[in-house]
Every structure is written in C-alpha cells, then in structure tokens.
Chains A and B, each alone.
Chain A
Amino acid sequence: MASRVTARITHALILLFIVSVVGFALLRLMPGDFAEILLMAQMDGTLPDANQVARYADQNGLNDPLPQQYLRWLFALLQGDLGKSFISNEPIISDITLRMGQSLLLAVLSMSLALIIAVPIGIVCARYPGSRIDRIAGMISVIGMSIPNFWYSLLLALLFSLVLGWLPTGGHGTWAHAVLPTLVIATSIAGVLSRYVRGSLLEELSKPYIRTAKAKGLSRLRTVLRHAVPNTAPGILTFSGMQFARIFDGMIIVETLFAWPGLGRFLVESLLNRDYPAIQACFLLIAGSYILVNLIVDLCIAFYDPRTREIV
C-alpha cells in the first residue's frame, strides 16, 4: 500500500515537472525576440532600442542555452522565488499567496455548500425516479446549471446589498464578503452534481446485489443508504474533485463581479497585461492544483475502497 502511494505521488511529481517544462517553453518559443517582448511589456508598449534589448538579455541571462535557463528558473522556484511582477513590481509569490488563499477559501466553501445541497437531492431523486419531486428537482438543477453567473450574481447583489442592505456588493476580508460568491458558485456546481449523484445512484440501484438486499428484507431506504450510496461514493468524489479544481481557474466572472481576488482573474489580468512572470506562475499553479486535487481524490478513494488500492 505505502509503495503504491509513493508511486502515485511520484507520478504526480513527474506530471508537474512536465507541466513546468511545457510552461517554461511555451513562453520562450513565442514568435519574436523574448528579451524584446519582456522589455516592451515593462515599458508600456514602447519599442526598446537594440542596445537596451542586448543589455537586458545579458543582465537576465536570456542568452544562455534554454536548459540552463530552465534550471535557474526551477531552482529559484524551489526557493519560492517566482520573480517580480512587471505590473505591480512586487514579488509574484505575494500575489500568488493572496490569490491562492482566496481561491482555496472560495473553493472549499462553495464545494461544501454544493455537496450539502446536491447529495441529499440526488439521493431522493434516485430513490423516487420519475416522481413529482424528481421532476421538480431536475428542473431546478437545470436552472442552476444554465443560469448565467454574471446575471445571477447581479440579481443576488441587487437583492442582498441594495434592497435588503445585508451584505456588501463586493470585496473580501470578512465572512459577509464570502456569502454571495459562495452562493453563486455553489448553485452552479450543485446543479451538475445533483444530476450526477442521481444518475450514478440509479445505475447502482439496477444492479443484482440491490435485488439481493431487497430479498434479504432490508428497507428501501436502508438499501440505498447502506449499499448503493457507499458504492457510488468514489465516482462522486472524483467528479467533485474535478469541479473543485475548476473553481481555481474557471470563476473569473464571479471573481470580477464581486471583486474577489481569485486566481482565475489573476491569470486573465496577467494575460491581458502581458505580465509574463505572472502568467508562468499561474500556469504552474493551476496545473499543479489540478494534479494535486486529483492526487488527493485518488488517495482518498484508495483509503475508502480497498479494491482500488491495487490500481492506485
């Protein structure tokens, strides 16, 4: 078991290494002279002259062979040095720490809320498929999935901030600031998740062992809760993990509307500003968080379900 866990972690690290190489190479293989592009980004788009470019390339070791540059970058990275932002002139690590913390907070809160809403609904729907409650829940889930976040966010802000005056329209720092963005993200995830729980549970309920359980005389509720739900849990966990990781880079609209300093918006801002050191850091971190969340999910499932230990 321990060796398999080690192997899984090693795989994750190898993947991370590949991602870092690709991320490093992507920016450097762009058309144009990398030194000139970097320098121009720092000079608000004015064209630097050849001397300036040469000096800059020399100072920053951009004339060295790429593998050497990569190793230098990697060693700095391992010491927590991601370079300085072209835009804010501060170490990127301070930006990233803030953004990562805020994204993580939002992700944990929204995911918890989504699970609290979606799992019971999914179970009830699977228990009574085709019933009125199932149809209503299905309808609400579809609305939750398809309602555009930018519109829904504004409606919530209108209601809770402008009409009722209970919550701030945006910003971060107190629990009140987290309520609206959490609600918006949780709703969209809960919609998909409850459908997924229902679907996988229904499939499980059609299996022969459920018939056996029924024949054994277990009540229907006990059958669902004691046998079907535990068996679908790994699938639900994997699915939730994917949704969880999505919050890191896919919530740009919610983050912008509520002025929430998350990682997704940081990536977009960095891209628009051509803040190359920041883009690289985001790339690494977002890919890293997908790898990490997947690793954690896999390990959790391995602990939970002995059968999968072999394949982990």
Chain B
Amino acid sequence: MIKKTLLGAAFAALAMGSFTLAPQPAQATEDNTLVIGTMWESMPLAMKPRRSRFFNESEILDTLVKLDYDLKTIPGLATEWDRVSPTVWQFKLRENVVFHDGTKLDAEAVKFSLERVIDLLPYAADLLNIKSIKAVSPLVVEIENTEPFAALPNQLSDAITVVYAKSSFDEAGEFVKPVGTGPWKFEEYKKQDRTIVTRFDEYWGEKPALEKVVYRYIPDHNSRTLALEAGEIDFVTNMLPSDVKRLSEDEDFKVYAEPTSGLYYGAFNAGEKSVLSDVRIRRAVNALVDRDLIVKGALDDVGEPAWEFFAPTFDWAPQADEKYTLDPELAASLLSDAGYEKTDGKWMKDGEQLTLRILSYSSRTEMPMITEAMAALLNEQGIATEVGMYTWGGMLDLVKQGEYDVSVVFWTPEMTGHPDLHLKSQFHSKAGLNYQFWANAEFDAAVDKGRTLDPGTEQVATYTKAMNILHDEAPIIPLVHKVFVVASTKDLKNYRIHPSGFFFDFKSVSK
C-alpha cells in the first residue's frame, strides 16, 4: 500500500512539474515569426570565439565594419574610416545609434567593448593587433596598431569584434548576456531548446519585416529536415546531401545553395616525423587526388572541387599563378625523384610502401565522407593510408605531437574579406595555429608585408608571391570549397545566402 502511494505521489509530482503547458499542435509557426532549425545550440549566454559568431550571425550585435555579398567592406557601426598615419586608424561612428538597453553608441562605448573583447578572448589580440584605443571625440574612435596595419577594417568585420553595450557585462567585467545595437534583440534562451530574438524598433538600418526569430536546436540531421517537412519550422540549416536532392524536387520547399567562404583541406605535416617533409611527395599527393570525384562521390555534388586555397568565387582573393591539376605523370616523376618505385601498382622504397597517416574529426557533417574519399583515391594510386577519425581535440593532440602525415580540417579563409586572417594565423611560421612544422621565410615576409599594404598593385603582387610559395611548397592539399545549403518553406520570401557563412541576414525576409 505504502509503495503504491509513494509511486502515485512520484507520478503526480512528475506530471505537475513537466506537463503544465498545453500540448503544442504539430503545425504551428506564427505569421510574424521565423523558426529556424539549427545543428548546434546557439548558447547566447556564453562569449566564446566560436560561439560568439551567433551574435553576429543572428544580428543581435553589430560590427564596426560589415561585408557585402561580394565580401567587400561596407559601413557597419562605423560609416567611414581613414588611416591617419601608417599605424593609426580613425573610425567615424554612425550617429543616433542606440543599444537595446537605451544607451547611446559613442566612441567610449566602442572603446570599452573592444577592450573587453581583447581581454576576454585572447585570439582577438592577434587578430586586431591593437596597441591602444582612444575616443578622440564622441563619434570618432582612434585605433593605434603595433605595426602598419592595412587589414584592420577587414579584421573588424570578424564576428568576435561585435560591439557590446556595457550592460552585457556584470560589475566584475564578466559577460552576462548580449546587449547590442542590431536589428534583433535577445529575448529568451531556453537551454537545450531554443533562443528567441525579437525586432528592435530603434534599429539604425533597414527594419526587419518579421517580429521574431526563433532558433530551435535540433541536433539530428534527419529530424531537423523532418521538422521542416512537418511544418514545425520554416527554415533548416546543415541538411544531409540526400535531403538536399529530395527537397529540391519538392514544390512545397525552396532550397538555397551558394558557394561560401569555407575550405576543406588536408594539412600536411612537413616536420621530420613525416615522409611529407619532402616537398616532392607533397606535390605528388596534390597531383594524384581527383577533387571532382570527391565532390561527386562523397558529397552528391554539394560542394566545389578545390584546386587552390582561396575559392575562385571571390575576385578580391589573391591566387597563385598556377593551380593544381590531376596529373598522374607529374606525380610519378616527382615520386621517382624522391626515390620511390612503382611495383605491382604500389609506390615502394626500401621494400616499404609509401604510407600516409590521415587524421580527421567527425563532428562536421561532411568531414568523414571527404576524408574517406581522399584516402580511397590515394589507395587507388598506389599510396597506402591509415585513416583515424577523432574528436577535434583528440585529433589536435596527435597533430601537436607531430604524429601524423595529413590532418583533414575545415577553415573559412575568406571570412573577413582579406587574405591576412588565414595566411597569417595558419601558415606563418610563428602562427599559434601552425602545427604543420612548415616554415618558409619568404612566405613569412610576404604575409607580414601584405597586412601593412593598402589595396593596390603592390598588395596584389605581395599576396600573389605568397600564394605562389604556398602553391609550390604545397603544405596543404585543398579538397573542397564549401557550398552552403539551407531550405525553407515555399512561402518564405527574400532570403539570400551571405557568402561569409556566418551571417543569416533575416532583416528583409518575410512570409
């Protein structure tokens, strides 16, 4: 008897605690609300390099400088900027901009925010290269760099440089919640469920057509697309390639696909623990992998074959004079030079087959497929492979110890609309993220110089030189340029994919 009563009480307590809300009908998104299904949780209450992209992506916060649909700089919170001396930039702020908490945006507020960002996110210091920030007048901010720095306006378009109101932080300077100047105001965050933003009526630019955007977290790739089909959400990101094909044939849905910033590439270990310390083998590998086949076979054509580091879609991005091509004969002569001999279809030296240890991580949808495809293509050409899939952190541990030959990764090299960001942070011999043990003094010099130069022939020539070295020295094998795919209900209007890959731009969207 006691048992029954206890059990009954437990049930009643559970029922009261969890089911107080009325059931939601399966079909329900309101007319003035846009509901989006996302693969990762938005985490609006954490300010992290990766996570704070959400603030920019969802436009709760604005950057000083923004990027247009060609990834060229356009005014954001700053309307114009000038280089008053080689190391000093002045940014003129937009007038009459208010934060969501009602306070005004001025030079002091920008100074406070940037200093806070640099303090809380170590990565920002490298990115912005700032010596000091001064508010010279209420609407003019002066930034002094440690060296001549032409890339600053572009770097200030990076999501981590968004401008926070003072009330985003507590007394101790710790981040609390995002209060910004963007068209959308942070409203509510339900852990593991959704983040809600609402229209900010005092926004300085084009006012959003809708009243509310709900970012719903649906981790499973199948379930997320299913939620769109069931009418629970209006918009879905990160679909499986097979769903892309199916939905584009369905009249009830629109599928959007555009090349965006983002490259899958194999980073070679050029250090002494790897056979790839020999540049001839690095170039041979580049000539042996058919990128067209990877895109067709592994990605159902959702992606662009990559034969160069920067995607050719962006005309501002510097290119090397030559691209890689599929050229088994060139590869054969390079490998022969390096002392390998092809017997029984295998590249052998001293009785052992040329073998590559390939590492990658599986949390990104396409990563395992691309890695496996590359390994299979190398096998077919007589190079043996040992593929290991890890978590990002697990892979990084091995990479840092130099216990690998190729690590397949994803980066967004065009994100700030300037070549500096990734050339400097990935391939410079002093870069914190260069775990490839690749060092080239000429490349370092070109990249160090490039960031100091204004756009013009000298800048183009400098970066072309850097790209030529990158091509000839081949510390990487570019594999696939990312194509960003989303789908929506057929009633959604005016959506357009922004090529940075980190910016939704829902202001003009209506339904």
In the complex, chain B residues 222-268 whose Cβ is within 8 Å of any chain A Cβ: 222-223, 226-227, 229-232
Contact across chains for A98 and B192 when beta carbons are under 8 A apart: yes
Contact across chains for B220 and A108 when beta carbons are under 8 A apart: no
Question: A271: nearest residue on chain B (CB-CB)?
Answer: B391
In the complex, chain A residues 101-124 whose Cβ is within 8 Å of any chain B Cβ: 101, 104-105, 108
Say which one of B16-24, B269-277, B324-332, B462-470 lies at the interface with A: B16-24
Contact across chains for A176 and B226 when beta carbons are under 8 A apart: no
State whether the Cβ of B282 lies closer than 8 Å to any Cβ in chain A.
Answer: no
CB distance from B433 to the nearest CB of A (A): 7
Contact across chains for A261 and B3 when beta carbons are under 8 A apart: no
Neighbouring B residues of A43 by C-beta, 8 Å: 49, 122-123
Cα separation A265 to B220 with both chains bound (whole Å): 12
Looking at the complex, which one of A162, A173, A271 makes contact with B229 (CB distance below 8 Å)?
A162
Contact across chains for B227 and A169 when beta carbons are under 8 A apart: yes
Q: List 8 A-B contacts (CB under 8 A).
A: A98-B191, A165-B230, A168-B232, A170-B223, A170-B227, A173-B193, A175-B23, A272-B392
Known contacts A87-B46, A98-B192, A171-B193: does B10 contact A257 (CB below 8 Å)?
no
Per DSSP, chain B at the interface is: loop
State whether the Cβ of B137 lies closer than 8 Å to any Cβ in chain A.
Answer: no
0 or 1 for each of B122-157: is its CB under 8 Å from A? (1 = yes): 110000000000000000000000000000000000
Cα separation A71 to B147 with both chains bound (whole Å): 49
Neighbouring A residues of B26 by C-beta, 8 Å: 161, 165-169
Neighbouring A residues of B432 by C-beta, 8 Å: 46-47
Neighbouring A residues of B22 by C-beta, 8 Å: 174
Neighbouring B residues of A94 by C-beta, 8 Å: 191
Contact across chains for B393 and A259 when beta carbons are under 8 A apart: no
Neighbouring B residues of A272 by C-beta, 8 Å: 363, 391-392
Cα separation A265 to B24 with both chains bound (whole Å): 24
State whether the Cβ of B217 lies closer than 8 Å to any Cβ in chain A.
Answer: yes
Contact across chains for B396 and A45 when beta carbons are under 8 A apart: yes
Interface size on B, residues (CB 8 A): 50
Known contacts A45-B393, A95-B191, A173-B193: does B226 contact A108 (CB below 8 Å)?
no
State whether the Cβ of B219 lies closer than 8 Å to any Cβ in chain A.
Answer: yes
State whether the Cβ of B424 lies closer than 8 Å to any Cβ in chain A.
Answer: no
0 or 1 for each of B16-38: is its CB under 8 Å from A? (1 = yes): 01110111111100000000000
0 or 1 for each of A39-60: is its CB under 8 Å from B? (1 = yes): 0110111111000100000000
Most A C-beta atoms less than 10 A away, residue of B17, B231, B393, B400 = B393
Interface size on A, residues (CB 8 A): 51
State whether the Cβ of B48 lies closer than 8 Å to any Cβ in chain A.
Answer: yes
Contact across chains for A44 and B45 when beta carbons are under 8 A apart: no
State whether the Cβ of A206 lies closer than 8 Å to any Cβ in chain B.
Answer: no
Cα separation A61 to B17 with both chains bound (whole Å): 39
Contact across chains for B122 and A87 when beta carbons are under 8 A apart: no
Contact across chains for B23 and A101 when beta carbons are under 8 A apart: no
In the complex, chain A residues 200-230 whose Cβ is within 8 Å of any chain B Cβ: none
Neighbouring A residues of B216 by C-beta, 8 Å: 171
In the complex, chain B residues 89-137 whose Cβ is within 8 Å of any chain A Cβ: 122-123
In the complex, chain A residues 229-276 whose Cβ is within 8 Å of any chain B Cβ: 256-259, 261, 265, 271-272, 274
Contact across chains for A172 and B193 when beta carbons are under 8 A apart: yes
Looking at the complex, which one of A104, A174, A256, A300 makes contact with B220 (CB distance below 8 Å)?
A256
State whether the Cβ of B11 lies closer than 8 Å to any Cβ in chain A.
Answer: yes
Contact across chains for A300 and B3 when beta carbons are under 8 A apart: yes
> Chain B: residues with CB nearer than 8 A to chain A?
3, 10-11, 14, 17-19, 21-27, 43, 45-51, 122-123, 175, 191-193, 216-220, 222-223, 226-227, 229-232, 363, 391-393, 396-397, 400, 432-433
Contact across chains for A257 and B223 when beta carbons are under 8 A apart: yes
State whether the Cβ of A19 lies closer than 8 Å to any Cβ in chain B.
Answer: no
Question: A179: nearest residue on chain B (CB-CB)?
Answer: B23
Contact across chains for A165 and B24 when beta carbons are under 8 A apart: no
Question: A266: nearest residue on chain B (CB-CB)?
Answer: B192
State whether the Cβ of A154 lies closer than 8 Å to any Cβ in chain B.
Answer: yes
Neighbouring B residues of A165 by C-beta, 8 Å: 25-27, 230-231
Cα separation A282 to B402 with both chains bound (whole Å): 32
Looking at the complex, which one of B48, B229, B231 makes contact with A44 (CB distance below 8 Å)?
B48
CB distance from B508 to the nearest CB of A (A): 28
Contact across chains for B191 and A46 when beta carbons are under 8 A apart: no
Neighbouring A residues of B50 by C-beta, 8 Å: 44
State whether the Cβ of A64 lies closer than 8 Å to any Cβ in chain B.
Answer: no
CB distance from B25 to the nearest CB of A (A): 8
Known contacts A46-B432, A101-B17, A174-B21: does B393 contact A257 (CB below 8 Å)?
no
Neighbouring B residues of A305 by C-beta, 8 Å: none
Contact across chains for B19 and A174 when beta carbons are under 8 A apart: yes
Known contacts A89-B45, A259-B219: does B193 contact A169 (CB below 8 Å)?
no
Looking at the complex, which one of B122, B220, B393 makes contact with A274 (CB distance below 8 Å)?
B393
Known contacts A101-B18, A105-B18: does B229 contact A174 (CB below 8 Å)?
no
Neighbouring B residues of A108 by C-beta, 8 Å: 10-11, 14
Known contacts A175-B19, A176-B23: does B123 contact A46 (CB below 8 Å)?
yes
Looking at the complex, which one of A90, A98, A172, A256 makes contact with B45 (CB distance below 8 Å)?
A90
Contact across chains for A168 and B433 when beta carbons are under 8 A apart: no
Contact across chains for B230 and A169 when beta carbons are under 8 A apart: yes
Contact across chains for B23 and A89 when beta carbons are under 8 A apart: no
Cα separation A101 to B17 with both chains bound (whole Å): 9
Neighbouring A residues of B48 by C-beta, 8 Å: 44, 87, 89
Neighbouring A residues of B17 by C-beta, 8 Å: 101
Contact across chains for B230 and A161 when beta carbons are under 8 A apart: yes
Q: A174-B22, A257-B222 are in contact. List 15 more A-B contacts (CB 8 A).
A: A32-B397, A40-B393, A44-B48, A44-B50, A87-B51, A108-B11, A108-B14, A157-B223, A165-B231, A168-B230, A169-B232, A173-B21, A176-B23, A259-B192, A300-B3
Question: When A and B form their complex, which 7 residue pairs have the shortest distance between CB atoms, in order from nearest?
Answer: A261-B192, A89-B46, A176-B23, A161-B230, A169-B227, A174-B23, A175-B19
Neighbouring A residues of B193 by C-beta, 8 Å: 171-173, 259, 261
Contact across chains for B122 and A105 when beta carbons are under 8 A apart: no
In the complex, chain A residues 7-48 whose Cβ is within 8 Å of any chain B Cβ: 32, 40-41, 43-48
